[in-house]
């Protein structure tokens, strides 16, 4: 198939940036979206033009490095990652608009590459169980009901890609933050620090400049890992409980 | 130089315990006077960085990705082995050790493998304590499944995303230490050289991938946790960014490279669909627990399938060849990876391949769905089935999956002693970056085990043994050795930019990959390897005169990053071929067509090749020098591997 691409080009963080139009020909429906961009880049290189920069790594939908806003949607028309999106989802002759994820807390680095370091800093603020290597109990010491373990797993599958932020009209990071808070609040290992964790992670999220949640649910609808909106409800509960009760004795 | 593995003396089961007692300790107050560099933040790197910081060392952690959480360990699917014997099915540390040595076709170091099996049980405890949501039974205890090369169920898993969950656990421990100020994190930073002063590794030179700035970092010890080199084949299951550069630059500075020809071709990957393909996707080996591998009995039926005149479901059982079950009745579909891959190649070479290219076999869940129902199958493999569906556009609940072997893992790597130290004092290699535990073939669910064993439970002890003898002062980053290294790194980048040739980096990478796959892939021969060697030499020359890299050094420049990595792959490719040529036997993933049993199995030559081949770099365009570490087997009996 032949396609017209409107791609966001921006030299660096301080450049204003803008759309450039490119044509690509003979694209196979079996290609992944990123492979289609590889084709474009090979052509640009041959013409002596700077290739389009975009983040990607595992190309199997798990590392969370690829991003892209495709035709107005994070990771494009399907509820999957861009690397798992295939060209069979597009039609011959179509014009495809490709932008970086847009959010104040995700500044553009170059072209389609954004800085998602804010997510790392949120995890650093409390997204862990305080346990050193060694000296831990036997793995089967604390039985965990299967339904709880499964629910925690569902929250833990977040890949940190940032599609939730990009999908949200407020650029809120609530789905990302709540997924981690939920996972650890559900498991006995994480319960010990649940209050402090909720308070610290929410504070860091606010400090990073993410917006508030207005419950539209766009985040969950676009999440390639189908992280559920109920995580946000759980996070609000955790946060509220933490703010009205205390561990201090 | 004589290779000394520094394996402790004494009975196998007591070596590690004794060694831990005998190593020198650094007192807690003095640990903060030492700085350790960790390159790579996968399972090995993240677990090492976190554990060392917890002990009190100052750690600098580097990764080329935008976040440490994206290291390629995240993509591991199936599981992690541990000798817990929770299933009461006869597992033990010794059995895991034995299976691993046998699975590696008797080309690994006994003492290292035993230690790996020994600490495997601690890994599971550690991960559960971190909040890793492993699969559980209804009673609340941990679930297990079986994996290739074993007859017990010792694999712990988190659906088909075990690597992700383990890495996020290690990443959370790392993040805690970043918050504590004990780890300084350098994302989007690539190591381009290791700096040797007074014969010891004293730091690294890096490039900031956003600004292009070349920087020096000095330290008391350097840990390379930089993964494998499977991307030398261009098409592999590795991430696009996975590369050999850190390990290769260390090799050029004096670290020996061991067994580079040992590469693992994984049997269950989604077949190549066309020239545009940029990477291959693995379908977890766990699928072989319930999926049955088959091709049609005759070439005629296979041809009809390829022309789409019939559907797989139209072929009755009597016309199907469940070749693994027929040939290996006791292990069936769960034979080790090398055996499964080779047999897939055989049936496809016979013309019985089932897709348009003739390079695919079926992995069929029809019987599992009939037996257990679609829901149970979905609960075990749902995400894998979805992934397959997304990539191929076919629904594996309705029609059998098509799979074909692909490059997946590299058992070879930097030579290390029992302490995981390379031949350069103060330079360590952990995880897939070293060579030590998997011999000539790695068993499924053992990579995660090794990465975490090295990082959580081995290096925290062994690095202290070295540091205890080191002064607190470290060289300044203005030391001439750092400045020289920076100059060399810059010069190489400038050279790549100045060629301004005709062809792109990917053009050369793809060509290199094809040569490696055709001549140094699933089957190798002396003639083919010799031919490949001259082809790579030519390709390398052409690369350095005709590659086109645009842009500048002082910016985010992904073509330059790639070019720099491919330049190293070209050199590594040659060494892999030398190693494969040198090893006149077949073992595990290294299959030389000249050396096979009448049944087509790998034929080892224990008398002449029961050694680790460790290669020493001798300079640009010089042949490398081979050093041998003889492998001594005191606890395992060397036999022809049989999975019948």
- Which CATH number goes with the domain that contains B580? 1.20.58.100
Catalytic residue among B337, B342, B352, B592: B337
pLDDT score at A247: 66
Q: Is the pLDDT of residue B431 over 70?
A: yes
pLDDT score at B380: 82
**Greatest distance between any 2 Cα atoms in chain A:** 70
B249 located within any domain? no
Task: Spell out a b/e string for B365-402, using b for 16 or more CB atoms within 10 Å of the CB, else e.
Answer: bbebbeeeeeeebeebbebbbbbbebbbeeebeebbbb
Residues of B in contact with A117 (CB under 8 A): 66-67, 187
Residues of A in contact with B393 (CB under 8 A): 86, 88
Chain B: closest CA distance from residue A249 (Å): 25
Window A:170-199, CB contacts with B under 8 Å: 183-184, 187, 189-190
Q: Do A153 and B558 touch (CB under 8 A)?
A: no
Q: Is the pLDDT of residue B383 over 90?
A: no
Cβ of residue A32 closer than 8 Å to a chain B Cβ: yes
Query: Does the interface ipTM go beyond 0.90?
Result: yes
Rounded to whole angstroms, how far apart are CA atoms B404 and B396? 15
pLDDT score at B146: 87
What does the DSSP 8-state code read for residue A26? S
Residues of A in contact with B51 (CB under 8 A): 132-133
Nearest to B551 by CA among B567, B542, B568, B563: B563
My answer on whether B402 and B494 are in the same domain is: no
pLDDT in tens, A210-226: 999 999 999 999 999 99
Q: Mean pLDDT, to the nearest integer, of B421-449?
A: 96
Chain B: closest CA distance from residue A246 (Å): 22
Chain A: closest CA distance from residue B465 (Å): 19
Confidence of residue B387 (pLDDT cuts 50, 70, 90): confident
Chain B: closest CA distance from residue A1 (Å): 14
Q: Do A63 and B70 touch (CB under 8 A)?
A: yes
pLDDT in tens, A67-80: 999 999 999 999 99
Q: Is the pLDDT of residue B274 over 90?
A: no
Confidence of residue B78 (pLDDT cuts 50, 70, 90): confident
pLDDT in tens, A89-143: 999 999 999 999 999 999 999 999 999 999 999 999 999 999 999 999 999 999 9
B73 located within any domain? no
Confidence of residue A174 (pLDDT cuts 50, 70, 90): very high
Cβ of residue A1 closer than 8 Å to a chain B Cβ: no
Q: Is the pLDDT of residue B486 over 70?
A: yes
My answer on whether B373 and B506 are in the same domain is: no
Confidence of residue B49 (pLDDT cuts 50, 70, 90): very high
Q: Mean pLDDT, to the nearest integer, of B393-419?
A: 96
Residue A92: CB atoms within 10 A of its CB come to 9
Rounded to whole angstroms, how far apart are CA atoms B166 and B450? 12
Q: Do B67 and A120 touch (CB under 8 A)?
A: yes
Residues of B in contact with A124 (CB under 8 A): 175-176, 178-179
**Angle, vertex CA B543, rays to CA B540 and CA B548, nearest 5:** 165
pLDDT in tens, A221-244: 999 999 999 999 999 999 999 999
Rounded to whole angstroms, how far apart are CA atoms A54 and A219? 22
Confidence of residue B379 (pLDDT cuts 50, 70, 90): confident
Cβ of residue B88 closer than 8 Å to a chain A Cβ: no
B563 located within any domain? yes
Q: Do B172 and A127 touch (CB under 8 A)?
A: yes
Q: Do A149 and B457 touch (CB under 8 A)?
A: no
Q: Which residues pair with A5 in a beta bridge?
A: A22, A96
When scoring A62, A90, A204 by the number of chain B Cβ atoms within 10 A, the one with the most, hence best to mutate, is A62
Helix residue ranges, H only, B131-244 = 162-179
Strand order from edge to edge, sheet including B611-616: B413-414, B257-258, B611-616, B625-630
Q: Do A110 and B122 touch (CB under 8 A)?
A: no
My answer on whether B510 and B598 are in the same domain is: yes
Mean pLDDT of chain A: 96
Q: Is the pLDDT of residue B102 over 60?
A: yes
Confidence of residue B23 (pLDDT cuts 50, 70, 90): very high
B497 located within any domain? yes
State yes or no: is B337 an active-site residue: yes
Q: Is the pLDDT of residue B567 over 70?
A: yes
Chain B: closest CA distance from residue A101 (Å): 15
Structural domain range at position B498: 487-628
A117-124 and A194-207 are packed helices; what angle lies between their axes, rounded to 10 degrees?
150
Mean pLDDT of chain B: 96
Q: Mean pLDDT, to the nearest integer, of B312-337?
A: 94
Q: Is the pLDDT of residue B255 over 80?
A: yes
Rounded to whole angstroms, how far apart are CA atoms A33 and A56? 11
Q: Which domains does chain A have, with CATH numbers?
A: 3-110 (3.10.20.30), 116-244 (1.10.1060.10)
Cβ of residue A12 closer than 8 Å to a chain B Cβ: yes
Nearest to B82 by CA among B70, B97, B68: B97
Tokens representing residue B97 in the block? 């050790």
Q: Do A127 and B175 touch (CB under 8 A)?
A: yes
Cβ of residue A93 closer than 8 Å to a chain B Cβ: no
Q: Mean pLDDT, to the nearest integer, of B170-174?
A: 98
pLDDT score at A248: 60
When scoring B129, B142, B182, B458 by the number of chain A Cβ atoms within 10 A, the one with the most, hence best to mutate, is B129
Chain A: closest CA distance from residue B63 (Å): 13
Q: Is the pLDDT of residue A249 over 60?
A: no
B251 located within any domain? no
pLDDT score at A83: 96
State the CATH number of the domain containing residue B386: 3.90.700.10
B115 located within any domain? no
Rounded to whole angstroms, how far apart are CA atoms A144 and B136? 8
Q: Which residue has the tokens 């330290």?
A: B219
Its sign, for the CA torsion A126, A127, A129, A131, is negative
Tokens representing residue B492 in the block? 């190489």
Contact in structure between A177 and A235 (CB atoms under 8 Å) = yes
Residues of A in contact with B236 (CB under 8 A): none
My answer on whether B396 and B492 are in the same domain is: no
Q: Do A143 and B141 touch (CB under 8 A)?
A: yes
Instruction: Tally A–B CB contacts below 8 A.
Output: 216
Q: Do B550 and A140 touch (CB under 8 A)?
A: no
Confidence of residue B627 (pLDDT cuts 50, 70, 90): very high
**Strand, helix or coil at A1?**
coil
Contact in structure between A99 and A69 (CB atoms under 8 Å) = yes
Q: Mean pLDDT, to the nearest integer, of A14-41?
A: 96
Residues of B in contact with A58 (CB under 8 A): 70, 72, 74-75, 239-240
Q: Do B161 and A62 touch (CB under 8 A)?
A: yes
Q: Is the pLDDT of residue B323 over 60?
A: yes
Burial of B626 (0-12, 13-18, 19+ CB in 10 A): middle
B315 located within any domain? yes
Q: Do A42 and B274 touch (CB under 8 A)?
A: no
Confidence of residue A245 (pLDDT cuts 50, 70, 90): confident
Q: Is the pLDDT of residue B336 over 90?
A: no
pLDDT score at B1: 72
Residues of A in contact with B139 (CB under 8 A): 143
Count of domains for chain B: 2
Q: Mean pLDDT, to the nearest integer, of B196-202?
A: 98
pLDDT score at B588: 92
Contact in structure between B216 and B203 (CB atoms under 8 Å) = yes
Tokens representing residue B103 in the block? 């699975």
Q: Mean pLDDT, to the nearest integer, of A193-209?
A: 97
B348 located within any domain? yes
């Amino acid at each position: 198939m032949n396609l017209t691409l409107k791609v966001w080009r921006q030299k660096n963080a301080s450049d204003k940036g803008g759309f450039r139009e490119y044509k690509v020909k003979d694209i196979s429906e079996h290609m992944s979206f990123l492979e289609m961009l590889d084709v474009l880049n090979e052509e640009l290189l041959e013409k002596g033009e700077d290739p389009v920069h975009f983040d990607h790594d595992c190309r199997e939908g798990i590392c969370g490095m690829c991003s892209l806003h495709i035709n107005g949607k994070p990771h494009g028309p399907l509820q999957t990652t861009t690397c798992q999106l295939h060209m069979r989802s597009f039609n011959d002759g179509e014009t495809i608009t490709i932008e970086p994820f847009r959010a104040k807390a995700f500044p553009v680095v170059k072209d389609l590459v954004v800085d998602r370091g804010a997510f790392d800093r949120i995890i650093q603020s409390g997204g862990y169980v305080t346990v050193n290597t060694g000296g831990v109990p036997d793995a089967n010491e604390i039985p965990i009901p299967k339904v709880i373990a499964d629910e925690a797993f569902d929250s833990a599958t977040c890949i940190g890609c940032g599609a939730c932020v990009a999908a949200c009209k407020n650029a809120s990071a609530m789905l990302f933050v709540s997924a981690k808070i939920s996972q650890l609040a559900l498991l006995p290992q994480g319960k010990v620090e649940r209050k402090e964790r909720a308070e610290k992670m929410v504070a860091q999220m606010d400090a990073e400049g993410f917006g508030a949640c207005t419950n539209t649910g766009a985040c969950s609808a676009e999440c390639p890992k189908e992280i559920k909106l109920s995580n946000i409800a759980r996070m609000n509960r955790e946060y509220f409980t933490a703010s009205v009760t205390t561990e201090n004795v | 130089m004589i290779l000394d593995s520094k394996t402790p003396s004494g009975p196998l089961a007591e070596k590690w315990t004794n060694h831990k007692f005998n190593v020198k300790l650094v007192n807690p107050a003095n640990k903060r006077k030492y700085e350790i560099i960790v390159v790579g933040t996968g399972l090995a790197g993240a677990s090492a960085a976190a554990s060392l910081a917890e002990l009190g060392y100052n750690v600098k952690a580097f990764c080329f990705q935008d976040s440490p959480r994206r290291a390629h360990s995240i993509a591991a699917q199936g599981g992690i082995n541990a000798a817990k014997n929770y299933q009461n099915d006869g597992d033990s540390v010794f059995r895991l050790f034995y299976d691993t040595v046998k699975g590696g076709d008797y080309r690994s170091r006994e003492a290292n493998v035993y230690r790996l099996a020994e600490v495997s049980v601690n890994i599971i405890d550690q991960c559960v304590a971190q909040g890793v949501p492993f699969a559980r039974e209804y009673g609340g205890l941990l679930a297990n499944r079986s994996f290739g090369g074993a007859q017990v169920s010792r694999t712990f898993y988190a659906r088909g995303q075990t690597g992700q969950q383990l890495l996020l656990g290690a990443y959370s421990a790392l993040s805690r230490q970043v918050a504590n100020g004990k780890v300084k994190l350098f994302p989007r930073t690539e190591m381009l050289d290791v700096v040797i002063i007074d014969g010891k590794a004293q730091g690294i030179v890096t490039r900031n991938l956003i600004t292009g700035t070349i920087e020096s970092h000095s330290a008391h010890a350097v840990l390379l946790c930089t993964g494998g080199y499977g991307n030398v084949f261009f098409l592999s299951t590795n991430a696009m960014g996975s590369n050999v550069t850190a390990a290769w630059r260390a090799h050029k500075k004096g670290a020996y490279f061991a067994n580079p020809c040992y590469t693992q071709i994984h049997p269950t990957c989604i077949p190549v669909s066309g020239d545009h393909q940029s990477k291959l996707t693995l379908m977890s080996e766990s699928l072989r627990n319930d999926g049955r591998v088959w091709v049609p009995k005759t070439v005629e039926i296979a041809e009809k399938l390829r022309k789409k005149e019939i559907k797989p479901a139209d072929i009755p059982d009597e016309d199907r060849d469940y070749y693994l079950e027929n040939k290996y009745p006791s292990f069936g579909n769960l034979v080790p990876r090398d055996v499964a891959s080779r047999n897939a190649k055989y049936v496809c070479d016979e013309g019985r391949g089932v897709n348009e290219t003739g390079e695919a076999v079926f992995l069929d869940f029809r019987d599992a769905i009939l037996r257990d129902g679609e829901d149970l199958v979905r609960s075990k493999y749902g995400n894998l089935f979805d992934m397959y569906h997304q990539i191929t556009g076919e629904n594996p609940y309705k029609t059998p999956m098509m799979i074909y072997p692909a490059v997946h893992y590299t058992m070879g790597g930097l030579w290390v002693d029992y302490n995981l130290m390379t031949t350069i004092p103060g330079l360590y290699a952990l995880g897939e970056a070293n060579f030590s535990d998997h011999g000539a073939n790695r068993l499924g669910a053992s990579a995660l085990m090794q990465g975490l064993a090295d990082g959580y439970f081995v290096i925290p002890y062994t690095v202290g043994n070295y540091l205890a003898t080191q002064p607190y002062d470290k060289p300044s980053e203005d030391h001439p050795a750092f400045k020289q290294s920076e100059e060399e790194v810059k010069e190489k980048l400038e050279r790549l930019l100045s060629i301004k040739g005709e062809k792109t980096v990917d053009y050369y990478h793809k060509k290199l990959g094809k040569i490696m796959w055709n001549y140094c892939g699933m089957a190798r021969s002396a003639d083919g390897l010799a031919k490949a060697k001259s082809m790579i030499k030519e390709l390398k020359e052409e690369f350095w005169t005709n590659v086109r890299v645009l842009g500048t050094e002082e910016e985010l420049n992904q073509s330059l990053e790639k070019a720099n990595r491919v330049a190293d792959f070209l050199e590594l490719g040659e060494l892999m071929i030398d190693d494969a040529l040198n090893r006149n036997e077949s073992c595990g993933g290294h299959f030389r067509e000249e050396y096979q049993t009448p049944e087509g199995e790998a034929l080892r030559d224990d008398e002449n090749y029961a050694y680790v081949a460790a290669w020493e770099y001798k300079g640009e365009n010089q042949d490398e020098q081979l050093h041998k570490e003889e492998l001594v087997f005191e606890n395992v009996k060397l036999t022809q591997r049989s999975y019948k």
